């Protein structure tokens, strides 16, 4: 069974109470519940991790680099400036999809640039929980194609 890491970056622990007009009213537990339900349908395993600390997210990627099959990550604000996270995503060589609840291309100018996007397979943005769900489906389709045995 494919093993997918779902990583939530800084401040996403406060979902539900944090700027609900921008991020909606779902809590992180609600969000993870919806992702877990989709994972069950897709017959993949998902493991959730949230941290407010850049280094902890990087350590998590390093620790799982040999055992995970792919990553869905919402890097939060790290998206816009963390070259360390960008290097970690590139370095561990796990297929990764970047997701955002809000539409970062239609917000403040500093949010319109992602330094992590270039090292990801795709970016899903602006669809709330559906950004995560579409990200997971995209990743699983990609990984399933990689694992097709033509022999
Ligand atoms: C976010 C967008 C980022 O700009 C912001 O810093 C976040 C959340 C999103 O999911 O829309 O923390 O990644």
**Domain 3-77+88-144 architecture:** 3-Layer(aba) Sandwich (3.40)
Is 23 an annotated catalytic residue?
yes
pLDDT tens-place string over residues 7-51: 999 999 999 999 999 999 999 999 999 999 999 999 999 999 999
Distance 102 CA to ligand 1 centre (A): 7
**Residue 55 CB neighbours (<10 A):** 11
Distance 62 CA to ligand 1 centre (A): 23
Residue nearest (by alpha carbon) to ligand 1 atom 2: 76
Q: Could you give the dihedral angle defined by the CA atoms of residues 87, 125, 139 and 64, in that order, rounded to the nearest 10 degrees?
A: 40
Residue 4 has pLDDT above 90, yes or no: yes
**Residue 128 CB neighbours (<10 A):** 15
Mean pLDDT of 101-114: 96
Would you kindly state where each structural domain of the chain is located, as residue ranges? 3-77+88-144
Residue 146 has pLDDT above 90, yes or no: no
pLDDT value at residue 147: 74
Mean pLDDT of 3-10: 98
Mean pLDDT of 77-85: 98
């Amino acid at each position: 069974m494919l093993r997918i890491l779902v990583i939530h970056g800084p401040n996403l622990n406060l979902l539900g109470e944090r700027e609900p007009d921008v991020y909606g009213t779902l809590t992180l537990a609600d969000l993870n519940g919806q992702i877990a339900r989709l994972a069950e349908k897709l017959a993949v395993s998902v493991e959730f991790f949230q941290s407010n600390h850049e280094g902890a997210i990087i350590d998590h990627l390093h620790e799982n680099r040999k055992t995970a099959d792919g990553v869905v990550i919402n890097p939060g604000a790290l998206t816009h400036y963390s070259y360390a996270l960008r290097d970690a995503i590139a370095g561990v060589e796990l297929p990764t999809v970047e997701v955002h609840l809000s539409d970062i291309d239609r917000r403040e100018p500093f949010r319109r640039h992602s330094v992590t996007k270039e090292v990801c397979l795709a970016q899903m943005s602006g669809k709330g929980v559906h950004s995560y769900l579409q990200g997971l489906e995209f990743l699983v389709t990609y990984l399933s194609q990689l694992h097709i045995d033509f022999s």
